[in-house]
Amino acid sequence: MHKMLRPGLQLGVATWAGTVGMWGCAGDSEMRYDSALLFSDSAGVEVVSFDADRLPPPVRVDPVPEWVLGEGQDSDLRLDLYRVVDVTALSDERVAVAEGSTQSILVLDRSEGTTKRLGGDGDGPSEFRAIARLFLSDEDALSAYDARRNRLLTFHLDGDVVEERSLPRVAASGNIPRLDIDGEGRIYLAVIPALPEGAGIERPRGGIFTVNEEVDTLTTVRGREVFRNSMGTGAVIFGSTTWTAADAGHGIWIGDTAEREIGLWRGSGGPTRIVRWGSDGLREVSESDIASFWAALDGAVPSGDPRPSNVMQDVLPFAEQWPAFGRLLVAGEGDLWVSRPLDPAVEFLSDEEPPPEEWTVVRFREGRAERVVTPGGFRVMEVRGDRLLGVHQDDLGVETVRQYRWQSP
C-alpha cells in the first residue's frame, strides 16, 4: 500500500507540537510535580496560570473502547462510515453522527441495534450541502449546522424538521465560518480566514460574531498563516491559526496558537478569564524539522514517481516557530481541554494509524491541571465526565465511532 496524503494537508492544516513548557519535561526523577492552578486578578480579568513544566506524567486512556459502532468484528452496530465530521451523545445508548460523505445525520441506538438517517445531500428543506456541527437541543431534538448554506436545522428525532434558521452572511467568499453554541444557547460564528489577501506571508483578519437577535462583532482575530507567491497559494507549514470552543456556561474560548494563552469572551469588552502557561518563547523550526518534512512528503508518493520536494521546495514556506497548542474542547462540566498539535509529517503523510493525542486538561473547579493521552487513531469530539466520544481511523482509513472511559488520578 502506498502512503496517501491525509485530507488536512491539502486544506492547509499543518501544526506541530514541540513547545517547551506546555508539554513538560519527561524523564526527570528529581522533579517535584505541581498541578495547582494559580488564580489572580488583572484589571478585573481573572487570570488562571499553572507551571506546565511541572505537571505530573500524563494519564493514558485505556486503549480498549467501551463500545464501537461501524465496521469490524468488535462493533456493537455494523455499518459503513466515511468522513465523520461530528459526533454527539443523545443518551447513554444513542449517539448522533454527522457524516460528510452522505451529508446526513445517523441516529444510532446501541441497545436496539437500529439506525435512523436524517437529511441527505441536496438543496431541499431537510438536506445539507456541508454538514459541519451537531448540537443537542433537548431530549428529543437535534440541531445541525450547514456551513455552505449557512443555516441551522433542528430535527425532531423522529425525522421531522422542527425549525430552519437562516444565519447572516459574515464571511467573504472562500472562508467558511465555524458555528458554536454555548451552554446557555448563544450562537457564535467564527470566521478564520484561510486565503491570503495579498502577496507574501500573512495572517488575514477574521472575526468572532454573536448571532442572536442581532449580529454583533465580539472581536477580531487572526486567520491561518498563509502565503501567495508567483508559484502558488496555500498554508504555511507549521503555521499558526485561531481556535474556538464554546463554553459549557456563557461565552466562547478563543486562542491564537502563536501565543500561550486562551481567553474566555462573554462580551466585546475583552476576555473575562484568561488561561496562561509558561513565559518562554516558542521553539524555533529547525533545519532538521524542515528536512524531516520533505523526507516524509517524498516518501508519500509511489516509488519511481518524481519527488514532490524537487518542485515544492521553491513554493512552500515554513513558519519560524512551532504553534503553542492545537485543538480546543470544553467538557460538559466546563473543563478546558487543550491538545498538543501533531507533527504534520506524521499526521498527514503517514500511512499508519494516526498517533495518540496529548491533552492538557484545566480543571477550574478542582483548581488543578493534568495531562491525558488518548488512544492512537482516535479523534475526541465530545467529553462528558469520564467518557470520551469521537471517531477512530485505522491505518486503512476505516472509520468507527467509539467511546472510551478514562479515570482522573
pTM of the model: 0.89
Question: 298 — phi, psi (to 5°)?
Answer: -65, -35
Residue 372, CA atoms < 13 Å, CB-side half-sphere: 27
Q: Indicate the number of domains in the chain.
A: 1
pLDDT digit string (tens) for 91-147? 999 999 999 999 999 999 998 888 999 999 999 989 999 999 999 987 788 999 999
pLDDT at residue 346 greater than cutoff 50: yes
Question: Is residue 158 very low, low, confident or very high in pLDDT (cuts 50, 70, 90)?
Answer: confident
CA distance 157 to 163: 13
* 267 located within any domain: yes
Burial of 47 (0-12, 13-18, 19+ CB in 10 A): middle
pLDDT of residue 23: 45
Query: Which distant-in-sequence residues (6+ apart) come within 8 Å of 214 by Cβ?
Result: none
pLDDT digit string (tens) for 33-50? 899 999 999 999 999 999
Residue 206: which CATH number? 2.120.10.30
CA distance 255 to 360: 14
Query: What does the mean pLDDT of the chain come to?
Result: 87
Domain interval for residue 254: 7-24+33-405
Instruction: Lowest mean pLDDT of 277-286, 328-337, 363-372, name the range.
Output: 277-286
* 1 located within any domain: no
User: Is 376 within 8 Å of 55 (Cβ atoms)?
Assistant: no
* 150 located within any domain: yes
